[in-house]
């Protein structure tokens, strides 16, 4: 095997979770190796163009493409939309999701999509868990004490962990 080709047995599989939004995107990258998780990176990406414009979609694409290049995930997982009372918000988030999916697809990376309830069920064991319960389980799963990421990043980590857990079966 060439030296520059990664061996998943040695480094594990890398999962990048993304919580889509139009003004900021939560992201969380984890490695899953031999039944254990490790945190690679997490945070929130602020989108430069404020107000909803076509330029904002370009910013989302460029930002996510750069993140994918930096992390080199084996899989990108994105939260599916749930029906919202605010249809305008739902439509703009759907467009952002499409751009995120495009960024991953253009790099030939496996894509997974999960509903919020599936993510909560996978991480906490309860599909209607609140954010505090999900964060507590993320902290336990990743072995981190006093872990307090921004909500969007926490959601993205839960999405990445779900991809790893459900991808095993």
**Angle between helix 131-142 and helix 116-124 axes, rounded to 10 deg:** 50
Q: Answer yes or no: is 68 within a domain.
A: yes
Q: Answer yes or no: is 51 within a domain.
A: yes
Q: Answer yes or no: is 102 within a domain.
A: yes
Q: Answer yes or no: is 2 within a domain.
A: no
Enclosing domain of residue 128: 8-167
Active-site residue, from 59, 74, 75, 152: 152
Cβ-proximal residues to 123 (8 Å cutoff; 6+ apart), any chain:
129, 134, 137, 138, 141, 158, 161, 162, 165
Active site residue 46: no
Prediction pTM value: 0.88
Quick one: tokens of 70?
A: 């930096």
Q: Answer yes or no: is 3 within a domain.
A: no
> Per-residue confidence at 4, pLDDT binned at 50, 70, 90?
very low
Q: Answer yes or no: is 100 within a domain.
A: yes
Cβ-proximal residues to 52 (8 Å cutoff; 6+ apart), any chain:
22, 92
Active site residue 19: yes
Cβ-proximal residues to 79 (8 Å cutoff; 6+ apart), any chain:
18, 19, 20, 113, 114, 115, 116, 119, 155, 159
Q: Answer yes or no: is 1 within a domain.
A: no
pLDDT in tens, 101-141: 999 999 999 999 999 999 999 999 888 888 889 999 999 99
Quick one: tokens of 93?
A: 């988030």
Domain count, the chain: 1
Active-site residue, from 9, 19, 74, 95: 19
Active-site residue, from 59, 74, 79, 155: 79
pLDDT in tens, 17-54: 999 987 889 999 999 999 899 999 999 988 776 666 78
Identify the CATH number of the domain in which residue 157 sits: 3.30.420.10
Active site residue 79: yes
How far, in Å, are 33, 78, 141, 158 from residue 21 at the CA level? 30, 11, 25, 16
């Amino acid at each position: 095997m060439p030296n520059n080709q990664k061996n998943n047995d040695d480094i594990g599989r890398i999962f990048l979770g993304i919580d889509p939004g139009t003004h900021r995107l939560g992201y969380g990258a984890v490695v899953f190796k031999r039944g254990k998780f490790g945190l690679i990176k997490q945070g929130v990406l602020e989108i430069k163009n404020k107000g909803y414009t076509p330029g904002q979609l370009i910013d989302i694409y460029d930002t996510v493409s750069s993140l994918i290049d930096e992390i080199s995930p084996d899989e990108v997982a994105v939260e599916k939309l749930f029906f919202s009372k605010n249809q305008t918000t739902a439509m703009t988030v759907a467009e952002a999701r499409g751009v995120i999916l495009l960024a991953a697809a253009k790099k030939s990376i496996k894509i997974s999509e999960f509903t919020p309830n599936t993510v909560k069920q996978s991480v906490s064991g309860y599909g209607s868990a609140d954010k505090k319960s999900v964060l507590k389980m993320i902290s336990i799963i990743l072995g981190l004490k006093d872990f307090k990421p921004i909500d969007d990043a926490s959601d993205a980590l839960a999405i990445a962990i779900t991809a790893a857990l459900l991808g095993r079966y």
